[in-house]
């Protein structure tokens, strides 16, 4: 999973007041919730960064660093986005 992924520009991200967000797919009308970490990752999916670069930026942004399972969590999140058609290579 070292591809440089691009977020689907048709997917709308609405950030909520509690730092969580909601993805909205206008083609299907479906929504899904996203965590603050997911939002951070989503905003980095511009086709210029690899997984390793995004995780390094996330580690810098977190005061206490990121947990050891962050790479696996990243992969799981990306797979879920790919299954929904929210990202592409």
Query: Which structural domain range is residue 18 located in?
Result: 6-88
Answer whether residue 14 is part of any domain.
yes
How many domains does the chain divide into? Answer: 1
pLDDT of residue 17: 87
Q: Which CATH number belongs to the domain containing residue 10 in this structure?
A: 3.90.930.60
Splitting the chain (89 residues) into consecutive groups of 10 residues, what average pLDDT does each group show? 89 94 96 96 97 96 92 96 93
Q: How much is the pLDDT for 1? A: 56
Q: What own/partner pairs with CB < 8 Å and gap ≥ 24 does 11-16 have?
A: 11/86, 13/39, 13/42, 15/39
Longest dimension (CA), the chain: 39
Of 81, 19, 32, nearest to 54 by C-alpha is 81
Q: What pLDDT is attached to residue 82?
A: 95
The answer to whether residue 70 is domain-embedded is yes
Q: Residue 65 has what pLDDT?
A: 87
């Amino acid at each position: 999973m070292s591809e440089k992924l691009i977020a689907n520009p048709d997917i709308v991200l609405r950030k909520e007041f509690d730092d969580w967000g909601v993805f909205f797919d206008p083609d299907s009308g479906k929504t899904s919730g996203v965590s603050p970490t997911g939002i951070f990752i989503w905003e980095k999916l511009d086709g210029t960064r690899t997984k390793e670069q995004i995780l390094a930026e996330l580690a810098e942004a977190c005061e206490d660093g990121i947990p050891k399972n962050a790479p696996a969590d990243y992969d799981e999140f990306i797979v879920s986005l790919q299954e929904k058609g929210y990202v592409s290579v």
